[in-house]
Amino acid sequence: MENGWVTADTLRAAFAGAMSDMYQQEVPQYGTLLRLVKQVNEEVLTQNPLLRQQLEQQGELSRLDVERHGAIRVGTAAELGMLRQIFAIMGMFPVGYYDLSQAGVPVHSTAFRPLDEEALKVNPFRLFTSLLRTELIEDPTLREQAVSILAARDIFTPRCRALVALHQQQGGFTATQANEFIHEALETFRWHPQTKVESRVYQALNHQHRLIADVVCFPGCHINHLTPRTLDIDRVQALMPEAGITPKATIEGPPRRKVPLLLRQTSFRALEEKVTFLDNAGGTHTARFGEIEQRGIALTTKGRALYDRLLAQAGTASDNVTQQRQLEAVFSVFPDDEQRLRQQGLAWFSWSLTEKGKADPARIAGETDREKLLDEGYLLAVPVIYEDFLPVSAAGIFQSNLGDECQAGTAGNASQQAFEEALGSPVHDEIALYRQREIASLLQCNASGALIPAGR
């Protein structure tokens, strides 16, 4: 509590937990996935005591088992703008712009997440939020129909809207108000097996693109996946079939490495769920699944350029063994130890003084070589965990759960300006946030700024 109000971090943690409980009830297989991930994480930590110690020192161990992210899709600027206000109450703000239309998915997106290091340590939950690009619906009649359907719905309860206004008016929530807010906000993300359209409309939109039907045809923006964090995604991928879970064909992202890069993701295939249409016809809908992520170090602009080039060079394969073999061969030129990543300016680190460094401030003040101070035991450098997403991986996960095909007629031009207008605010630049974090840590070590590298 702060000044009698429930903190944003507390709200976010409670909301993430409540969303996970709801999703496990709606999709029991997700509960199975959580138990599998927990089992694998415990095995890794038992086998690698040094990793356990490192995670504990970095504040990562305590947040390992909390929900890492979810994904939702909305249809209008008004819906996106209201979500921005809801997430702000929970200390989650839009970071990054992702144009997935280039990969055949007719949306553009951002990730609502905490910004500062302390908030991330408390609870790193984020929601990857996509806005449907109705202008990419080729059939003009169908496009107008979709716009009309979306305009007629309200995905938020009246009480949720009232509570958001109350929070803005009084500057916070009491404990009772916070609990009610979480309950009301969850209703927006609940699954509804009853659609808002007749079967023929659903089929027409589904034929245009499955994601369009998913966004337009239902009363709310149901969660389409939640994601725990694993320490060994390859092991989870291998064990999923034994747990009765069918994984997607390949793991998205970089290969397995000593120093993990950015983000690796996999998922189980989306469920085919029974739905009832407005004309009382029965049918099925495929959209919701479970995902797993393994996070690594955040890369600088230089590091990201090398990563993107190598990923494109590696190409894709139809099976995971071949895919990982190709990636490992191509990524062999990407440094795989922390020292070279630092020295070549490829990744971000958080710096701090050791006890030796604190005891000798004159030595710190007189040195500009960070690596020398590190070698001599005056400084400590810890990799900054990547907290964001990879557009190619996001599109790959979406496509694998929309039928493995990239439907035609959905490619559009990126438009961050249009997205931000719909959102009602600019999105934060992820690289700038990582840069600020590293610089802030170096200034705490030496306020003169002598340790800050040029050109970063």
% pLDDT > 90, the chain? 64
Q: What is the pLDDT of residue 408?
A: 39
- Residue 324 C-beta-side C-alpha neighbours within 13 Å: 15
275 vs 129, 166, 198, 209, 322, CA distance in Å?
24, 36, 11, 18, 38
pLDDT tens by residue, 51-63:
888 888 777 777 7
- Which of 106-110, 287-291, 387-391 ranks highest by mean pLDDT? 106-110
Name the band, by pLDDT with cuts 50, 70 and 90, for residue 101.
confident
Residues near 76 by Cβ (< 8 Å), separated by ≥ 6? 131, 150, 151, 422
Name the band, by pLDDT with cuts 50, 70 and 90, for residue 414.
low
The lowest-confidence range among 201-205, 278-282, 452-456 is: 452-456
Q: What is the pLDDT of residue 377?
A: 93
The lowest-confidence range among 35-44, 313-322, 371-380 is: 313-322
Mean pLDDT, residues 161-171 taken together:
96
Name the band, by pLDDT with cuts 50, 70 and 90, for residue 14.
very high
Rounded Cα–Cα distance for residues 233 and 324 (Å): 12
Residues near 286 by Cβ (< 8 Å), separated by ≥ 6? 210, 270, 271, 272, 273, 401, 402, 403
Given a cut of 90, is residue 376 above it in pLDDT? yes
- DSSP three-state, residue 157: coil
Give the pair of three-digit tokens for residue 312. Answer: 């494109």
Q: What is the pLDDT of residue 412?
A: 55
Rounded Cα–Cα distance for residues 161 and 157 (Å): 7
**Is the CB of residue 386 less than 8 Å from the CB of residue 298?**
yes
Q: What is the pLDDT of residue 450?
A: 82
- DSSP three-state, residue 350: strand
Per the model's pLDDT, the better-predicted residue between 366 and 248 turns out to be 248
Mean pLDDT, residues 396-424 taken together:
64
68 vs 64, 144, 216, 311, CA distance in Å?
8, 37, 27, 24
pLDDT tens by residue, 306-363:
999 999 898 888 888 899 999 999 999 999 999 999 999 999 999 999 999 999 988 8
**Is the CB of residue 108 less than 8 Å from the CB of residue 99?**
yes
Name beta bridge partners: 130.
73, 109
pLDDT averaged over every residue in the chain: 89
The lowest-confidence range among 5-14, 147-156, 216-225, 405-414 is: 405-414
Give the pair of three-digit tokens for residue 221. Answer: 């923006």
Given a cut of 90, is residue 398 above it in pLDDT? no
Per the model's pLDDT, the better-predicted residue between 395 and 27 turns out to be 27
